[in-house]
Amino acid sequence: MARPGSGMLLPVNGLGYPPQNLARVVVWEWMNEHGRWRPYSAAVCHHIENVLKGDARGTVVLGQVDDQLSPYVIDLQSMHQFRQDTGTMRPVQRNFYEPSSAPGKGVVWEWENDSGSWTPYDMEICVTIQNAYEKQHPWLDLTSLGFCYLIDFNSMCQTNRQSQRKRRLRRRMDLAFPLIMGSIPKSQSWPVGASSGQPCSCQQCILVNSTRAASNAILASQRRKLYGGTAGNPGGAGTLAAVRQSNTFAGTSLWAPASASCGPNNINMSAGGGQGKAEQVQLPLSSANFPCSPIMASLSAAHGHHALTINGQNNLNRPGTQRFSVGPARGAVPPGVPALPVKNLTGTGPVHPALAGILMCAAGLPVCLTRAPKPILHPPPINKSDMKPVQGINGMRRKTKKKHLRRGKNPEDVVRRYTEKIKVVPDEDCTICMERLVMSSGYEGILQHKGIKPELVGKLGKCGHMYHLLCLVAMYNNGNKDGSLQCPTCKTIYGEKTGTQPPGKMEYHVIPHCLPGYPDSKTIRIVYDIPAGIQTNEHPNPGKKFSARGFPRHCYLPDNEKGRKVLKLLIMAWDRRLIFTIGTSSTTSESDTVVWNEIHHKTEFGSNLTGHGYPDSNYLDNVLTELSAQGVGQDNV
């Protein structure tokens, strides 16, 4: 489908400008880790444009307009977004759209994510959806844009053409994006002009501006030294230590391959390859190779040569976090450079850790900015001979087969077993049918059971809550029919509650490694394995296939007294088929799949980045509470 009114990008050294005397809507966008340009909100775009008008080389503090973006600043000179608490840098761009398009009208199209909140589409997709919506098309195929989704405007749903999974979408009105007219003169390039606006007086802006002044002053001083040293010693060639991305990232070197004739004014650049090898690249020694970068530069003397490490603004051209290697020797800081105290890099000092890192790099100290650590899900490889039985527990495996599945029991017998009849009925509501207990059950005429009249009221033995007996029968029929009863008011369980967990196996053993927070204990590893299969009558869609994603699933407990107690209860919950059930995944929204059943497990072995790992001093107590809520208490051990 054609996309009239879609985005138009006219780059001029990193920024786009509309044709002369033509109105355009401005949308600022940042590149995510998948290489997609994601739009800032209209309010943020207005803020960026206001800063741009005052200082084309300035820094935009996004937290001034959106509290959720407080860690982020945009450097308009290098066209990068910088996150101060992690050091992550991402490219940004200035894009233009027709005034009649979605951003010009303030129309935002969003899809519902796994957490139930709403995420806006990329702007070019938003414009395409709005265009089809205005033309009253019943549906829109996004395949031409590289997405296998089908938009249905009648049901307001997005359907994945491969998995058939559906998500809700919505259209809402928001602030229109900023509108501009004309362009800058063609003779000017980006960035334009000198800083003419008054700097912001907040501490965040002062730190950013001071950092930029410090790095630029150091770079200018060291370049003068480098040029002077080369001119005075024509036989000596400067050695340039190249900046290299971390091997953990896929991609090419930060420095493009280049060559030039060797001579006294050439320098050797050693670029470390992805395999740890080095390449020698000849670059002419000229000011073109050393752009005055607002990011960082350092100079050190080693083996009689000048070692120069530079991060130019053009090097930050990919969405991932960059890794910078800096020479170990410290360069001299020229007089007059504004100094910021860096007392503590843990965040207690006056400088954010990431900004302090820039200052350290500008001064020639080694700094390494890396991506966030990945969770450690599994322990190191273990031989079978090192897997030992858990103390006090027989065997190392449990299986659940179809022959173990319990058959339903007579509902009347189950209700009568756990209740006693009430002769004097109080004048209060039955919380199942919401009718008064002195009246007949709301299920009168819907259910008919011999011996249970609609007006009969019973009291549960343990908790004492009262209901119509016919209402309790209806509740039992809508449940698992396993011979147990659970009070709908206080959740007290009568009998042995069982679940609808499909057949599978559970293994458990001790491994010779310790969990974070339990240095004196080995680890109990639990392995659950459930295959895909066909749903039965106790499941949501009998006869339909169900999937089993992520199996086998590995979980961990400390091998101490409380950890072994939790394991015994988990084994009991497994035997009662309470660990898993079939339903809709809260993370992927996939239906008819095996999901956890409200008993949390720790699936992260050596970290706690996702919240499902250690250390967690409250986990064992919390899981005991969850097991008790399922009727698996410590009195059952």
Q: Rounded mean pLDDT of the chain?
A: 73
For residue 59, give the amino acid letter.
Answer: T
Q: What is the dihedral of CA 329, 330, 334, 337, to 10 degrees?
A: 140
DSSP secondary structure of 14-54: TEE-PPTT--EEEEEEEE-TTS-EEEPPHHHHHHHHHHHHH
- Going by their DSSP bridges, the two strands 305-311 and 239-241 should be labelled as parallel
**For 249-259, what is each residue's pLDDT tens digit?**
333 333 333 33
Within 10 angstroms of residue 504's Cβ, the number of other Cβ atoms is: 22
CA distance 33 to 625: 39
| Res 232 pLDDT > 80 | no
CA distance 190 to 364: 29
Q: Write out the two tokens for 496.
A: 């042995």
Q: pLDDT-derived band of residue 525, with 50, 70 and 90 as boundaries?
A: very high
**For 141-167, what is each residue's pLDDT tens digit?**
888 787 888 999 999 999 988 788 899
Mean pLDDT of 582-593: 86
Q: Report the sign of the C-alpha dihedral through residues 412, 418, 423, 428, in that order.
A: negative
Q: Which of 451, 472, 78 is nearest to 291 (CA)?
A: 78
CA distance 513 to 510: 9
Q: Which of 221, 191, 192 is nearest to 290 (CA)?
A: 221
φ/ψ of 463, rounded to 5, equals -95, -20
Predicted pLDDT of residue 121: 92
CB 504 within 8 A of CB 552: no
Q: pLDDT-derived band of residue 326, with 50, 70 and 90 as boundaries?
A: very low
- Going by their DSSP bridges, the two strands 266-272 and 239-241 should be labelled as parallel
Predicted pLDDT of residue 217: 55
CB 173 within 8 A of CB 107: yes
CA distance 303 to 282: 19
Mean pLDDT of 376-405: 83
What are 89's strand-pairing partners?
82
Q: Which of 204, 196, 17 is nearest to 96 (CA)?
A: 17
Predicted pLDDT of residue 633: 83
Within 10 angstroms of residue 262's Cβ, the number of other Cβ atoms is: 11
Predicted pLDDT of residue 637: 58
CA distance 361 to 293: 13
CA distance 607 to 323: 23
The interaxial angle of helices 561-575 and 619-629, nearest 10 deg, is 30
Predicted pLDDT of residue 265: 41
| Res 267 pLDDT > 90 | no
Predicted pLDDT of residue 143: 81
- Give the side-chain half-sphere CA count within 13 A for 372: 11
Mean pLDDT of 366-371: 54
CB 424 within 8 A of CB 385: no
Predicted pLDDT of residue 261: 40
Predicted pLDDT of residue 320: 38
Predicted pLDDT of residue 197: 44
Q: pLDDT-derived band of residue 372, with 50, 70 and 90 as boundaries?
A: low
- SS3 labels along 429-459: ECCCCCCECCCCCCCECCECECCECCCCEEE
- SS3 labels along 496-559: CCCCCCCCEEEEEEEECCCCCCCCCCCEEEEEEECCCEECCCCCCCCCCEEECCCCCEEEEEEC
Mean pLDDT of 194-199: 43
Predicted pLDDT of residue 454: 87
**For 48-77, what is each residue's pLDDT tens digit?**
999 988 888 788 999 888 888 888 899 898
**For 124-139, what is each residue's pLDDT tens digit?**
899 999 999 999 988 9
3-state DSSP: the chain helix, strand, coil percent, rounded to 5? 20, 25, 55
Mean pLDDT of 212-226: 55
- Alpha carbon 413 to its chain's center: 50
Higher pLDDT, 207 or 426: 426
CA distance 217 to 281: 28
Higher pLDDT, 329 or 479: 479
What are 582's strand-pairing partners?
594
| Res 123 pLDDT > 70 | yes
Predicted pLDDT of residue 181: 81
Distances (CA, A) of 608 to 115, 571, 603, 627: 20, 24, 9, 22
| Res 293 pLDDT > 60 | no
CB 419 within 8 A of CB 459: yes
Predicted pLDDT of residue 227: 55
Distances (CA, A) of 195 to 13, 46, 94, 459: 18, 19, 20, 80
What are 595's strand-pairing partners?
581
Which range scores top for mean pLDDT: 169-183, 218-232, 546-560? 546-560
| Res 246 pLDDT > 90 | no
For residue 122, give the amino acid letter.
Answer: D
**For 4-51, what is each residue's pLDDT tens digit?**
344 444 444 444 444 555 788 999 999 987 788 999 999 999 999 999
**For 440-487, what is each residue's pLDDT tens digit?**
988 887 776 667 888 899 999 889 999 999 999 888 888 778 888 889
